[in-house]
Structure 1
């Protein structure tokens, strides 16, 4: 399974870009899955629902299933955040796994950068950033640069980089 990621500061547009990339890659007949890192607690079920009640009662894992989909929720319960490798072991193999976040993990990634956020670029201080996408020209960088308004060019780059271009 090939892995490629998007990294950048909150508000830079990683999720918006990720959605466009997934749509365009799937249209090429490539199977894609995603992992998104959240920096806070989150729920995918709601209070009052059976799955939420199971977790609140102390279950370590709760699986919800139907004829349309299944979801597995795992409560960490003080064990510490799992590594990306540990999370990858839970994923069903596909052609391409796109990761949003996990900027310090060791995999190739595209930095999504918007100068108006007032944050510094992650490159060159973050390992394995292999390209940058922005909504403005960024001057001289020794990396491939892409316009956020051109997701097709970013898709071509990712597929070439991961060996999935056809």
Structure 2
């Protein structure tokens, strides 16, 4: 499995880019899975549902299965967050795993950047960022790596697929 990241600060356009990349790359016949890092607590379950009640009762893992979907919820219960490398081993094999977030991990990434968000670029200090996808690419002509239009999904997908050898 090849991996490639999309990173950037909040409101940079990461999730929209991820969504478009999955559509573009799967449309080219490749299989794609995603990993999304959240810096806050989240819940994919609903209070009162059976699976929620199982977790609330103390289950370490709850596997929820239907004819259309499988969801495995694991409670850390104070244990440290597993490293990305460990999490990747839990995925079924695919051609490409796109990773949203994980700024500090050492896999190759594209930084999503919007001038209007007012955040500094991460790329100048991070060699794992191989390119920047920006809403105003002309503002970043000084960078020492490729800069693409944030909305040119096909060009960004081409870049990722070249980089990964897919």
> By the TM > 0.5 criterion, same fold?
yes
Whether 1:143 and 2:153 are equivalent positions in the alignment is: no
TM-score by length of 1: 0.96
- Structure 1 residue 68: deviation in Å? 1.0
Structure 1 segment 147-162 matched on structure 2, within 5 A: 147-162=149-164
- Structure 1 residue 82: deviation in Å? 1.0
CA distance in 2, matches of 1:148, 1:50: 42
CA contact (8 A) 2:4 2:96 kept: yes
| Structure 1 spans left out of the alignment, 5+ residues | none
Of 120-129 and 98-107, more deviation after overlay is shown by 120-129
TM-score by length of 2: 0.96
CA distance in 1, matches of 2:26, 2:159: 15
Count of residue pairs brought into register by the alignment: 164
CA distance in 2, matches of 1:161, 1:139: 21
More helix by share: 2
2:133 is paired with a residue of what secondary structure?
Answer: strand
CA distance in 2, matches of 1:157, 1:13: 18
1:5 — aligned with what?
A: 5
CA contact (8 A) 1:104 1:127 kept: no
Question: In angstroms, what is the RMSD of aligned CA positions?
Answer: 0.8
Structure 1 segment 6-21 matched on structure 2, within 5 A: 6-21=6-21
2:83 — aligned with what?
A: 83
CA distance in 2, matches of 1:88, 1:151: 25
| Structure 2 spans left out of the alignment, 5+ residues | none
- Structure 1 residue 119: deviation in Å? 1.1
Whether 1:30 and 2:13 are equivalent positions in the alignment is: no
2:124 is paired with a residue of what secondary structure?
Answer: coil
